[in-house]
Amino acid sequence: MTIQPIELPETIVIGVLALQGAFIEHIHYLQKLRPQNHTIKAIPIRTLPELQQCQALVIPGGESTVISSIASHTPGLLEALIEFARDPQKAVWGTCAGMILMADVDGIGGGRKKMVKGWEGIGGMKVWRNLYGTQLESFEAPLTIPSLSNPSKPFNAIFIRAPAVHSLSPESQVEVVAQLPEQFLPPPPPLDSPLGEPNVDDLGKVWLKKGRKMVTSFHPELSGDVRVHEFWVEKCVLGR
Ligand SMILES: NC(=O)CC[C@H](N)C(=O)O
């Protein structure tokens, strides 16, 4: 999907949703970046006026239901987040719980219990929560990604109660940036859930991009490696 160029100020304000979860790490990583011709100011977002200052947004990992619930108790915030997530001009990156929130209407519930609406930031993506198992089944996997800086060095991706892509609609037009090596793939979700049939070929798609939107089912902000943050800022925020 092609990105429409937009006017960006010299100092780009990137908000990190700071209602719950691993937000401070994202702020620290973003503050380390030095993109050409721009300065990044990373700020925590807890209110609507704070969100309104931002050109781009990170939705961190944590607990998607808790993040959504706290946002819904903050005046005007949930509606504005949904609008921001869907606006093709705004760069948004969802990590883990943030990826669940960027999924479609059926994404959050995983189909097992009640289904809760996602924010539809990606459009055409259904996810299944906790498909890899509990906290105890957390794991790390090396990802080889040609489009990262220093591509010969694998990126150590950390998965903590991660979601998996259940299925992508043919219209979703996402770009797969990284795929999980086969030995780490989760068991497929049931065929007869309210989410419909999963697409097993989509299960290992752990890093997706669509225009200025990006999702990762792992936690790059815990890896000690800023290259995924660098990628998002260059490709999605700056669009270059
Ligand atoms: N590390 C994470 O962000 C876990 C996500 C969590 N399992 C959820 O459902 O929201």
| Predicted confidence (pLDDT) per residue in 101-122, tens digit | 999 966 666 656 666 679 999 9
Q: What are phi and psi of 102, to 5 degrees?
A: -80, -5
CATH number at residue 19: 3.40.50.880
Flag whether 3 is in a domain: no
The bridge status of strand 91-95 relative to strand 175-179 is unpaired
Mutational test site, ligand 1, from 16, 96, 135, max ligand atoms within 8 Å of CB: 96
Domain housing 45: 11-237
Looking at 54, 219, 230, 236, which residue is catalytic? 219
Q: For atom 3 of ligand 1, which residue has the closest CA? A: 61
| Ligand 1 atom with minimal separation from the 21 CA | 3
Average pLDDT over residues 77-92: 97
State the Cα–Cα distance between residues 36 and 172, nearest whole angstrom.
31
Flag whether 85 is in a domain: yes
Look up 73 and say whether it is catalytic.
no
Flag whether 1 is in a domain: no
Pick from 15-19, 74-78, 107-111, 122-126: least confident: 107-111
Flag whether 99 is in a domain: yes
State the Cα–Cα distance between residues 222 and 240, nearest whole angstrom.
26
Residue 76 C-alpha to ligand 1 middle, in angstroms? 24
Average pLDDT over residues 185-207: 91
| Ligand 1 atom with minimal separation from the 63 CA | 10
Q: Which CA distances in Å does 103 have to 170, 180, 195, 200, 214? A: 15, 19, 12, 17, 11
pLDDT digits (tens, 9 = 90+) for 170-186: 999 999 999 999 999 99
Residue 166 C-alpha to ligand 1 middle, in angstroms? 15
Crossing angle, helix 77-86 and helix 64-72, to 10 degrees?
Answer: 120
Query: Is there a contact between 62 and 183 (Cβ–Cβ < 8 Å)?
Result: no
Domain count, the chain: 1
Flag whether 4 is in a domain: no
Flag whether 63 is in a domain: yes
Mutational test site, ligand 1, from 68, 160, 215, 222, max ligand atoms within 8 Å of CB: 160
Flag whether 6 is in a domain: no
Q: Give percent of the chain with pLDDT exceeding 70.
A: 95
Closest by alpha carbon to 166, among 222, 211, 118, 134?
118
Query: Is there a contact between 171 and 142 (Cβ–Cβ < 8 Å)?
Result: no
